[in-house]
Every structure is written in C-alpha cells, then in structure tokens.
Chain A
Amino acid sequence: MKRQFDADLEDLRGRLLRMGSLCEEMVHYAVKVVVDRDDSHLPKVQDWESQVNSLHIEIDEVCLRLIALHQPAAGDLRLIAAAIKINSDLERVGDQAVNIAETGVYLLKEPKIKLGDIPRMVEVAAGMLKDSLDAFSRGDVELARDVIKRDDEEDRLKSQTFNELVHLMQRDASAIQRGMDIILVARNLERIADHATNIAEDVIFMVLGKDIRHSAEKL
C-alpha cells in the first residue's frame, strides 16, 4: 500500500518539475524576444512568471507542512531540503527570463546589434537548466556533475561577450545603450546557468547526502 507521505513527496516532486518546465519555456521564449526580435512573446513570459511565483509560495508551504507533520529523516529530509532550495533557484530563473524578455523589448527600439556569443550562451544555459531538472527528476548524479562542469563554459562565454561589447562601445558611442542591454542579457544567462549549477549541487546532496558547494574538489 502506498503511504500518504510518499504520495505527498511525489506531489512535491511533480510541482517542482512543473515549475521547472515553466521556467524552461520562459527562458526559451524570452531569448526569442532578443534573438528573433519578436516582442509577441513577452506577454506569455510575464503570464508564466505569475504562475511560477504562485508555485514558489505553494512549494514552500508544502515543504513546511511535510516537515511539521511528518518529521522526515534521511532521504526524505534531503529531498525536502533540496526542494526548498531548488524552488528558490527556479523562482530566480523565472525573474531572469522576464529580465531578458524586457531587455529584448528595449532592444527592438534600437537598430540591430551583433549578438556575438549570446546564442551559444543561450544553448549552454538552457541545456544546463534542462539537464539539472532531468537530474532532479531521475536522481541522476552523473548528469548533475556534468551540469556543474558546463558552468565554466558559460562563464567564459560571458567574459568574452563583455570584452567584445566593451570594445564595440569604445569604438562607437552610439552603441552604448544597446551594448549595455546585451551585457545585461549575457549577465542574466550566466545567472541562469549558476542557478542550474545550484540545482545540480542540490541533486547530488539529495541523492548522496554529500554537500559539494564551495568545495575545492567539487567533482
């Protein structure tokens, strides 16, 4: 017989994954505003953000209720602790997607600017987010480790993008506004990759009980 507590934990996992897939969609369409110069995606990104915000509160409530009523231990406790942290990371990913979409709308008012490594940054950050959620769903430690390794690539791309845009702005003062906007987009993408890294670290904690954050020999 399946216990109510197991059903509650399953429900918690389901809510987090629903929030995660909403965030993935938000990132996908927010980036389209910038890359495809198409502002028709902004309203749905904003609508999903309010759903993500509701889930943020709901999931915290579920976690507190499960702790208060069931006094979970071991793997159950680690799942709930990880869920609380992943919940916060996903909510921030949602905010960053909105930032990207809104910056994209400003960019539409300006002449086109070279996006440099932004498409590659999108690919890396979106891939990390997807895989971190898959790792959570399957309890896949190897996939989580792989996500963490990819964060360096995203950081390198961000620095490269910053440098290119700073040079461009030094040469052409009329590109400063657009250059700053692209830097913001790059910064938000890099933060999304950081949140995916956090989620992957939480998955490793959830599965192995091993805290690898802030550790020199992470992997």
Chain B
Amino acid sequence: MDMMRPMPLPRMKEESEPQDAGAPIAMSVRDLRAGYGGAPVLNGVNLEIREKTVTAIIGPSGCGKSTLIRCLNRMHESIPGATCDGEILLGGRSALELDPVLLRREVGMVFQRPNPFPTMSISQNVAAGLVLNGVRDRALIAETVEKSLRRAALWDEVKDKLDAPGVGLSGGQQQRLCIARALAVEPRVLLLDEPCSALDPIATGRIEELLLQIKDQLTVVIVTHNMQQAARVSEYTVFMLMGEMVEYGLTRKMFTQPADKRTEDYITGRFG
C-alpha cells in the first residue's frame, strides 16, 4: 500500500514573502524633487530599486514617471531649465556627483521611439558605445556585437546582414537593436521609457520575452502605459500620481490587492 501513497509536495512559499526578499539594492532614490523651469514634477520621491529585477513604473500622463527615470541617468538635466534635487545612489555612489557620461555607461536607456543611428550599420550601432569608449580591438568588438544581439534576441534575424543599415530593420527589430546597443557597454541598470508604445503586439511580445531573459543579468526599470505589460514583465511596480509615489510593492500583490484606493482606481480603470 505504501506505493500508493502520494509523494509529499514541496511547500509553496508564503504569498506574502517576496521571492527575492533581501535582494541587494541597485539604485536608491531619496527625497527626489525635479521640475522644469520652476514647475515641480516630482515632489520628494523615495524608492529602492532591487538588483536583477524588473521594476515597472505606472501612472497617468504627467505623473512624473518619465521624469523619474530620466533623473536616474541624468538625462533630465540635459533639458534647459530642468531642476533636480535629492539623492540618487548607484551602488553606494551618488549618481548626481558622477560624471554623467560614466553614469550613463552603467545606467543605459532605451526610448519610446526606436532611434538607431541613421548613418550606421547594424553592427556599428551595437558597437557605437564601445568605440566611443575607445575600444579598437576588432575581435572584441565583433564578439560584443554578437553577444549583445543575442541577449537582445535579435542575432538570428540579423546575423547575415550585420553591415546593412540599422534603420532598414522593422520597428520592433530597431527597438531590439537599441536594446542591444545599450547592453553592449554592460550596464548595471537598463532604463526603458515606454519601449513598446510604437510596436505591434508581436514585436511587443518579443521585447517582453527578452526583458524576462536579461533580468537575471541586470536591473531593469520600465515606464509603461500598458498595465498588463507591467503585470506581465515586472516583479515590482511603482504607481505614481501627480509627482508622488503612491504605492510601491510586489507586482503580483499590487495587481490583486493594492494597498491604496488610488492605485485600485487606476489599475481598474476607474481613475478620474
């Protein structure tokens, strides 16, 4: 009869326990205030982004989510009249005191519209960051181009036309090319500002798959208007409203059991 006894199943983790509780912090944001020409956009945001996870930032237009990620690699301050105050730590170092160029090597960014360099080939696009950083070793460049295109799930589609212009690719491929370009310099953090908003559902699906694959290697922060996308790809979600962070927590909890009524109203489409 013993043979009939079912094998004991492994105990499942408590739902309330984050899968990566205690994961190191990749970036810390403390009392971040930012704005444009005196008009405040972020009113004191505090956030700890966990290493090697995907964190999604959601919220209605104008809530400050793009400003927040643009502060993380100091793109924000490149706009005339932009202000930024507070503390941003990258592995214990103050991002606001680092050389912005060096910071952006560690904190890469991909934008809403794919923006490959128009005069460059596919491989030149991917290698651009390395070349700018003075790398001349052709073998190393070729190796990095292949590795980055593979990580961006684009290699199989372009391996036979690496010298073709980057802008000749489809929209979804161009966006993955931009991700490959960002990955080529081995950033610790990859910021994506609505990377799929100009893509069709199939191209969007590929980008989401690739985010799930690369998150074991680096920290991803994605701003998205698509709540289902946030739910699918991220482990943590930040909900922002009018320059404030309303709620930050495990995505699976936020989408089933949000703590704040405003989050509930937003994710169930009852906002406003």
Contact = CB atoms under 8 A, between A and B. Distances in A.
Interface of A: 3, 5-6, 71-78, 209, 211
Nearest to A77: B256
Interface centre among B227, B231, B256, B268 (most CB of A within 10 A): B268
6 contacts: A5-B269, A73-B255, A74-B255, A74-B263, A74-B264, A77-B256
B267 A74 contact: yes
B268 A209 contact: no
A71 B269 CA distance: 11
Contact of B227 (A3, A5, A73, A78): A73
Interface string B228-264: 1001000000000000000000000001111000011
Contacts of B267: 73-74
A78 B253 CA distance: 12
For the complex of A and B, the 7 pairs showing the least CB-CB separation, nearest first, are: A209-B257, A73-B267, A73-B255, A74-B264, A76-B268, A74-B258, A71-B228
Interface of B: 15, 227-228, 231, 255-258, 263-264, 267-270
A59 to B, nearest CB: 21
A109 to B, nearest CB: 41
> What's the dominant secondary structure at chain B's contact region?
loop
A140 B269 CA distance: 24
A78 B256 contact: yes
B257 A74 contact: yes
A156 B268 CA distance: 43
Contacts of B258: 74
Contacts of A76: 268
A75 B255 contact: no
A45 to B, nearest CB: 38
Contacts of B264: 74-75
A184 to B, nearest CB: 29
Contacts of A71: 227-228
Given A73-B231, A75-B264, A3 B257 contact: no
Given A71-B227, A209-B257, 19 more contacts: A3-B270, A5-B269, A6-B270, A71-B228, A73-B227, A73-B255, A73-B268, A74-B255, A74-B256, A74-B257, A74-B258, A74-B263, A74-B264, A75-B268, A76-B268, A77-B255, A78-B257, A209-B256, A211-B15
A76 B269 CA distance: 10
Nearest to A210: B257
A6 B255 CA distance: 18
A78 B267 CA distance: 13
A3 B255 contact: no
Contacts of B231: 73
Contacts of A73: 227, 231, 255-256, 267-268
A24 to B, nearest CB: 31
Nearest to A208: B257
A77 B256 CA distance: 7
A13 to B, nearest CB: 15
B260 to A, nearest CB: 10
B271 to A, nearest CB: 11
Contacts of A3: 269-270
Contacts of B270: 3, 6
Given A209-B256, A209-B257, A74 B228 contact: no
A6 B265 CA distance: 12
Contacts of A77: 255-256
B34 to A, nearest CB: 29
Contacts of B268: 72-76
A5 B231 CA distance: 20
A209 B253 CA distance: 9
Contacts of B227: 71, 73
Nearest to A81: B256
Contacts of A209: 256-257
Nearest to B231: A73
A71 B227 CA distance: 10
A78 B264 CA distance: 12
Nearest to A6: B270
B14 to A, nearest CB: 11
A77 B258 CA distance: 12
Interface centre among A6, A75, A209, A211 (most CB of B within 10 A): A75
Contacts of B269: 3, 5
Nearest to B254: A74
A74 B263 CA distance: 9
Contacts of A5: 269
Contacts of A6: 270
